[in-house]
Structure 1
Amino acid sequence: MVRYRVRDGIDEADREVEGRISLNVRGVPDTPAAPRVGEERDKTVVLSWTAPNSRGASITSYRLTASPGGLTKTCASTTCTFDGLTNDVTYTFSVAAQNAVGWSQESPASAQARPDAVPEAPARVDFVGFGDGELSWSWPDSVTNGSKIVNYEVQITPSPPSGSAVLTPTSPKVTFTGLANGTSYSIRVRAHNALRDKPSPWTPSTGPQTPAAKPGAPSDVVATRVATDTGGQINVTWDAAAPNGDRITTYRVRVSGGPGAGTYSPDPGTSTSFVFKDALNGTRYTFEVSAVNKAGEGPAASATALTYGLPGKPTITTTDTPPGEGAVRLAWSPAERNGSEVTYEVREGSTVLVTTSDTSVTLRNLAGGTDYTYRVVARNDAGYGAPSESVVARPTTRPGRASGLKIVPTSFGDFARPTAVDLSWDPASDGGGGTVTYSWRLSARGHGPVEGTTTGTTVPGVPIVDWVEFSGTELTLAVTAVTTVKGVQLLGDTEADLTELEWGAAPSVPRTVALSVDPARAQVTATWDPPSSDGGVGVSRYVFCWRVNDVETHCGQTSNTSVTRSFRTIDVQDGRSNAVSFIIRAQNSKGDSDAATAQATVDLSPTPNPAPGG
């Protein structure tokens, strides 16, 4: 637009007019800026740009040119979809604007663009397998009409305890690890190609799958013998194994060690006990128990046991009573062990006398002549078997010791000097040996011995003439009891007893005892005759005492038959009449005689004065 004004020569404002002239100057449009890549599609790229200066003539169209290839696309606006391209080829684009004058210069090249197609979702997802804390799937390669598949995006539900819930494998398979055994998981998959932000659609979620490991070993495996009389049965129990993600379908019991070995399953298979009824008593079996789930058979735990039944019945084969030993020897045949070591009890009634693993025993310190009844019972870990038949044994001992030995004089010589004696004793026990014979022996110092045997307990009239001294002689009687058992002579302990015998008697009384008084000499003399009997052993002395006026005043002894004492010695008193008594006894080793006495009067009264005038 051009404006102008015209004024006349007067040059006054009101004489001025204005005019306008419109001019249209045209040229080709300015060169556009480089196109902007907006979107990459299947064989298509969407571009846009800013309209350039049209240079006086309206822009009527744009032309896009692709490089490489030189394909062009005419577009009416500044946004244009360039189709017909080849996918997965990198292009740049330039643009030129057109108006009535002509075409502008080509713009600078755009940024690179790669037309591409979104891949299809995988056709299916297949479950491959499971493991301990892991699951694996695979799928066929996704179909793509564009760039090749770069990777797959796999999403697992629920999220694992550790690790990512999304994996991006480059091949059509995946394994998730770190999963929780026993938890059900599903996945979905989509494919990525060069169109990073445009993956394929997700596949439908898979059916649930569960990771699992082999079961753990059963715990507390116990093999227990069943207590029956016959044995042969073992019960095996255990605590359930850890399933480790999948239910246990069965247990396996492997039996080894003897007849019936093999692999068994309990009934039902998930039971935690098993009964083995084919065990051979006395054989140790090993039981290995393992659990099975979909992952396979887990480790085994084991226990051992053996079975046994009650032992058999022993038979007593020997009952021996050694002569004189107070003992019984028993022997028996071995009892059937029935799978367990056997010991034996020797019983008398309900009393257990001996426990032994041998098959014979000697019982000692028994009473001779007493009947003992014995049985033998076998015992093992299962208990007691049936007892043997009873046997009766009568042991023997040496005979006992005679007691109550006596030596009794029965015949006498002068002064009761023994000339024969009777012997006796109380019976000794026979110790079970039957008839007792007594061997006796009588002796004294310097005499004898006299010996003999008898089945009784008395021996009368054994002569001992001149054996016994009047002063006493010790006689010794020894008696030994003897029995005979099974041809063996058994001697008891010898019993001995000492008996002292003596003879003689105390003397008789002294005879013709008399007193004579000698006033001139102031003395009294006693005389007597020896006793008529000295008891066979003589008179050893005489003992005497004086009594004056009923008071004992003096005593003494003498071997003579007279004794003289002064008045003073025997305390005869002057000035009065004194009654004097003399008492005497004869004495020997056997004792004193009776007393003999004599009396006299010793008158020491004063002489009366003569009468006056006499």
Structure 2
Amino acid sequence: MTATNAAGTSAASAASNSVTAATVPGTPTVGAATAGNGQASVSFTPPASNGGSPITSYTVTSSPGGITATGASSPIVVSGLMNGTAYTFTVTATNAAGTGAASVPSNSVTAAATAGAPVIGAATGGNGQATVTFTAPASTGGSPITAYTVTSSPGGITATGPASPITLTGLTDGTAYTFSVTATNSAGTSLPSAASNSVTPATVPGTPTVGQAVAGDGQASVAFTPPASDGGAPITSYTVTSSPGGLTGTSSTSPVTVTGLTNGTSYTFSIKATNSAGTGSASAPSNAITPASGQTIAFANPGPQNFGGPTTLTATSSSGLAVIFTSTTPAVCTITSSGALTSFAVGTCTIHADQTGNATFAPAPTVSRSFSIIAAVPGSATAIKATPGDTQATVAFIAPSFTGGAPITGYTVTSSPGGLTASGTGSPITVTDLTNGTSYSFTVTATNSAGTGAASSPSNSVIAQPAPTGQDTTATASASLPSSMHVTANATSGPFTGITIVTPPPSGRAVVKGLDILYIPDPNITSTQIVTFTYTLTNASGTSAPITVQVTVMPSSQKVSDLERPTLWNRGREPDRDQGLSSRVAAWVGGAE
């Protein structure tokens, strides 16, 4: 550098520091402006020329407002904007020489926040879907809401729409769901609403299976089986429809009654099921029925009945048709269709009275009556047989075949005359304190918990007496002659029913002939012998103690004359002495030993 004045120009100074001549930068190329919540992000491209000096910063300026933000590179965020206001932006570049010209304005953007949460409304289920209503949020966040999204729980299934309501599809029938809603604007997606009410998507139920239709008086009762599928929602009702006539009846369970039918007209019926989704298809037609006039049965309870008693129950129908009886307790009682009752045990007997109807009358409602079968007194014992004894009699009998329905607890035997009694639990029973020599007969009664039955027929007559007693006897006999002894002559307690040889004689034979004993000596004895044997007497009361007979037998060779022959002999000749003893006995007593 030199200095000049009037005198002239000075010498040059020393050299300065080195510098580069420069100008302000060129204009940046503005890019896209993107709105945010109270701000905007502005992108740009640096200018083609930095004016010969490095660009040190870029400044973005809003319009309106002139709000600025500076940065070293793109993009630059301008904050402090007012949500809901539309802005454009310009960009300038600065270097050591200064700030260059502003770019053209950017696209217009409006700063905004996310919208508030929508207000949930009602959810309504459908077939595999649900429709959800809602109210827009109070705040849009400064930017128009562009869409609403409904989300299911469970499953996270979504559907989007511009406004309420929105329908979600793809749901599973029978599954309960709730739903929430979000709103979306340029700033993003809002928080979700509260959960909706719970709904269960469903379709109409399947088809019920029609059962038996039963005619009544101007009506019909129709049974059915629910469908295999309820469509995902509980079935609320079933509707039965008549054909002809289209008359209906509704119920929540089987059977369904349809009224208003015309007696004498034939009808069939179909049935449909309804749930919250609607009504399903109709079943196939039922069996055909013809309603008829009703009838009732009058059947009075007969009250307690004696076991085994002859009982006939009666009942009448209002139609005049015959009533049919059946028993539901066959172990206790049975009954014929006409009412003849037979009891088998003590207990409760239950009888049904029915009338099945005809072309004019419908079946009557069953009338059931229960009553007690109570024990009766037993029947009479049979085969009464008395056996006398000493001041007593033993009475045997067969128990009655009819017990009265209760165990027989005892029997009583009563004498006639005298009315003397004895009791026991079975046969035989002995009646004591009778008067010997008096003829008695006896009756038997049986007793159970119901009382004492009728007396039996009288027994045979017997005379109370002791067993026989006899006297020991002595006799003399010749060896060639039998000795006949009327041993009952001096015995007591007759009449006698028999004689029994107890200890036979050691020599000869003792033979019973009627109520006598015939002693036949041994014809071969050569000296006098004393022969002893015993016997007993029997009467209706018993048997005596053994009674002794002692016979003195003398040997003899004398010819037996016809005058000496005992009256018990059955032969007209003297037996041969040389015959054996058995042959001689047979000849004398005719083989009746």
Q: Do they fold alike, i.e. is TM over 0.5?
A: no
| TM-score, reference length from structure 2 | 0.39
Select the structure of larger CA radius of gyration.
1
